[in-house]
Amino acid sequence: MNYDFRFKNYKKAPSFKYLGVFSLSLFLSLISHFSFAQISATIDSTSIKIGEQITYRIEVEADSIDLVVLPEGQSFAPLEVIEFYKTDTIKNKDRFKYIKEYALTQFDSGVYTIPRQKIILANKTIFTDSLKIEVNNVVVDTTKQGLYDIKPIIEVNKSIGNWWKWVLGILLTIVLVTFLLYWFIWREKPLTEEEQIALLPPYERAKLALQKLDDNKYLEKSEIKEYYSDLTMIIRKYLDEKVYDHALESTTDQLIDRLTILREGNQIDLDKKTISNIESILKRADLVKFAKSQPNIELAKLDRNTIDSEIDHVKESLPEPSEEEKLLNQQYKEEQERKKKRRKIIITVVIAVLLLIATFVGFGIKYGFRYVKDTIIGHESKELLEGKWVRSEYGIPPIYISTPKVLKRIEVELPDELKNQIDITSFGYGSLLERLNIVVATSIFKDPELKEIDLQPLIEGNFKTWEAKGVQNIITKNEQFITPNAAEGLKVYGTASFPGLTPNQYEKGNYALFLFTTQNIVQQIILTWKEDDFYSDEIIERIINSIELKVVENEQNNE
């Protein structure tokens, strides 16, 4: 196509001044071509009922080396193409016969003309004859066939999709984490033997320790040093908890001096014999440990019984705790429980936060941090991109396109002077104020003599409409655009400042217009999207790649 990048100097239909020369050259080219090729176009019926199909058949006989291009688009308007059949090829010596059939229909009664169809043969453009067809109403005998109201719209349940898998995975993860937190942190674990002993009162712990000393059978194995080490540790621990809180780290002399001072100060009611017995056993243990003394077994057993008795004497000498002391002790225990519970809560919160951070970082590394953030918080364009897309056809001849949402019909109000000149059907989603705007429009000019459509007024008309709605700073470029199924058109694209939701606020955005022409029809696809939208570029790319029109080139572009 000879599109001017400045939207000027579009090719115009030849003037009457050159009509004679043009007709003569066309006549000579046709004569030269028909000497080598035969072309015919037929239909199997000239009268059908509404919705019935007719078969349009084109036969072309040409040399084997000739290039033959048969109509492949919606060039049969006002009739609609239901199906394109495959081209049959019959070889006859050095010539080929191409047979192409089309299934056509019409859903309105009347007399219609199937326009001339363009065939390219050996770089020459040849047109078939136009054919008339009558479409009749279907007569309904209401005496035999009752009439019924239109049925209401029935809601169809959407498929649940795969979202349940994500929900199930999240629930399983939450259950697993909750179980681990309960099992290792919140669960009341059974106490070990050491923990159970630690919870006993000091007196009972001392008595139990003496029993364990007997069970170890140190004396039977002649392990005197270990025996006296454990024996003195028992009395020292008991004194450390109930009498003097430095009994464990004090020497024997220091401990005995402290006990004597406490007795003389009437703080404990210990007699001198008890203190003397404790001193004797502690000093004997020191000799065993440091001087390698070896007292006999019977003396060791006697020392064990003496410690047992002196523990009882110490317990009897201690005053009963006052109510205030008991209350302080209870408060201390409750405070310890609160600290323990607070520690569990802190550990649980820290683990949960670390898991959330690790999950966010992991998914962020794999999918991108912006994507993860928008998945958690939500993003309109992301939901459109990942939602269920719809592929449909809009207008006649149809434009096939995939969009995030179904395009709804837009009523276009035309001035009275244009209503008899053009029919416009339009479908859209969104608006210029939103992040994404999609418009698909088909314009059919009613002038049967129209040979070429000037696109410049249409493009400028779109821009003027935008400017009236507040769009500013429109920057324009254009280039040829070819759909995946080889339909050629014009792409007009660029940037602009679109009005925001608040007055005097503008957002920078992009736009793209796609225009296709065939005979008296113009098909347009208009896309606008905001520049700062991370997902819109991918949405637009997916929409553009889905555009399909079964249209052939404009006649003038091949001449």
Read off the pLDDT of residues 179-200 as tens digits, 9 standing for 90 and up: 888 888 888 777 777 777 777 8
pLDDT per residue over 137-151, tens digit each?
877 666 665 666 777
Question: Domain check: are 280 and 345 in the same one?
Answer: no
Residue 411 belongs to some domain of the structure: yes
Query: What mean pLDDT, rounded, does the chain reach?
Result: 80
In a domain, 186, yes or no: no
Question: What's the rounded mean pLDDT across residues 105-122?
Answer: 86
**Structural domain of residue 335, as residue ranges?**
324-377
143 in a structural domain: no
Higher local confidence (pLDDT), 359 or 21: 359
Q: Is 122 exposed, middle or buried (0-12, 13-18, 19+ CB in 10 A)?
A: middle
Whether the bond between 397 and the residue before it is cis, its omega within 30 degrees of 0, is: yes
| CA gap 250, 93 in Å, rounded | 124
Residue 552 lies in a domain: yes
Share of the chain above pLDDT 90, in %: 17
State mean pLDDT over 87-103: 85
Of 395, 469, 391, nearest to 427 by C-alpha is 395
Of the three residues 377, 400, 415, the one that is the final residue of a domain is: 377
Judging by DSSP bridges, how do beta strands 131-136 and 506-518 pair with one another?
A: unpaired
pLDDT band per the 50, 70, 90 thresholds, residue 55: very high
pLDDT over threshold 50, residue 25: no
* Span 288-335, pLDDT tens digits: 988 888 888 999 999 999 999 999 998 888 877 667 766 777 787 788
pLDDT in the model for residue 122: 77
On whether both 200 and 348 belong to a single domain, the answer is no
How confident is the model over 395-410, as pLDDT tens digits?
888 889 999 888 988 8
Helix (H) or strand (E) holding 237: helix 224-242
**422 token code pair:** 């053009």
Instruction: Give the pLDDT band (50/70/90) at residue 237.
Output: very high
Residue 373 lies in a domain: yes
The number of domains in the chain is 4
DSSP code for 167: H
pLDDT, tens digit, 9 for 90 and up, residues 356-391: 888 778 777 876 666 666 666 656 777 788 888 888
Residues 301 and 405 in one domain: no
pLDDT, tens only, 517-527: 877 888 899 99
